[in-house]
């Protein structure tokens, strides 16, 4: 599942048995940079890193099989903030930058640690899901933008195929 921007979306996916989610770390941070007074973040307070950390810990705490594949990184700090996540998709440019860095990147996320956390179990019904999404301006805006972009890309692809037929 892609275009995942908030915790309630992630819980609904896990409860539905989704195999993999791919939260967009950098796109979440981009929204906060654009829409708040804070313009710089560390790996500890980056909103995308915080979101993925919360989701990962919740999944591991409650033994959900859904894997978390964090994506859309803007910098190596975001990557280092999520070491231990199930999967990461990292651009070649950021991989090259990581390869040239000498800082050790310790594991930050682990099932063992998640199991020790005091996280309340939640259940997401449709009413809760819709309200939470409505109340989360970032998730609502980024989801709508993503759907519009997918639709635009689908139309472009259709035109390319029609031109070849």
For the chain, give the percent of residues with pLDDT over 70: 100
The region, left, alpha or beta by phi > 0 then psi within -120 to 50, assigned to residue 45 is alpha
The label of the residue with tokens 């063992």 reads 112
| SS3 label, residue 52 | helix
pLDDT at residue 142 in the model: 97
Residue 164: exposure state from Cβ atoms within 10 A (0-12, 13-18, ≥19) = exposed
Query: Which pLDDT value is given to residue 138?
Result: 98
What per-residue confidence (pLDDT) applies to 20? 98
Q: Given strand 20-21, what is the order of strands in its sheet?
A: 20-21, 67-70, 87-88
Work out the average pLDDT over 73-88: 98
Residue 105 has which token pair? Answer: 């990147």
Predicted TM-score of the model (pTM)? 0.94
Q: Report the pLDDT averaged over residues 98-111.
A: 95
Q: Residue for token digits 């859904």?
A: 66
Strand partners, 26: none
What SS3 string covers 85-135? Answer: CCEECCCHHHHHHHHHCCCCCCCCCCHHHHHHCCCCCCCCCHHHHHHHHHH
Query: What is the predicted pLDDT for the residue at 116?
Result: 98
pLDDT digits (tens, 9 = 90+) for 1-58: 999 999 999 999 999 999 999 999 999 999 999 999 999 999 999 999 999 999 999 9
Average pLDDT over residues 145-163: 96
Categorize the per-residue pLDDT at 120 as very low, low, confident or very high, splitting at 50, 70 and 90: very high
For 24-86, strand residue ranges (E) read 67-70
Rounded mean pLDDT of 127-144?
Answer: 97
77 burial class (0-12, 13-18, 19+ CB within 10 angstroms)? Answer: middle
Q: Report which of 127, 116, 51, 56 is spatially closest to residue 85, judged by C-alpha positions.
A: 56
User: What confidence category does residue 126 fall into, taking pLDDT thresholds of 50, 70 and 90?
Assistant: very high
Q: Which structural domains are found in the chain, ordered by start?
A: 7-163 (3.20.20.70)
């Amino acid at each position: 599942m892609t275009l995942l921007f908030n915790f309630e979306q992630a819980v609904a996916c896990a409860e539905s048995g989704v195999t993999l989610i791919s939260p967009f770390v950098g796109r979440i941070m981009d929204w906060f940079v654009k829409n708040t007074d804070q313009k710089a973040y560390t790996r500890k307070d980056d909103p995308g890193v915080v979101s993925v950390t919360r989701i990962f810990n919740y999944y591991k705490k409650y033994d959900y099989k859904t894997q978390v594949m964090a994506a859309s990184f803007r910098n190596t700090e975001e990557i280092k903030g999520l070491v231990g996540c199930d999967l990461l998709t990292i651009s070649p440019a950021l991989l090259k930058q990581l390869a040239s860095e000498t800082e050790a990147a310790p594991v930050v996320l682990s099932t063992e640690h998640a199991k020790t956390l005091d996280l309340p179990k939640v259940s997401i019904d449709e009413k809760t899901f819709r309200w939470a999404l409505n109340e989360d301006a970032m998730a609502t805006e980024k989801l709508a933008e993503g759907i519009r972009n997918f639709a635009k890309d689908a139309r472009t692809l259709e035109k390319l195929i029609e031109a070849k037929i």
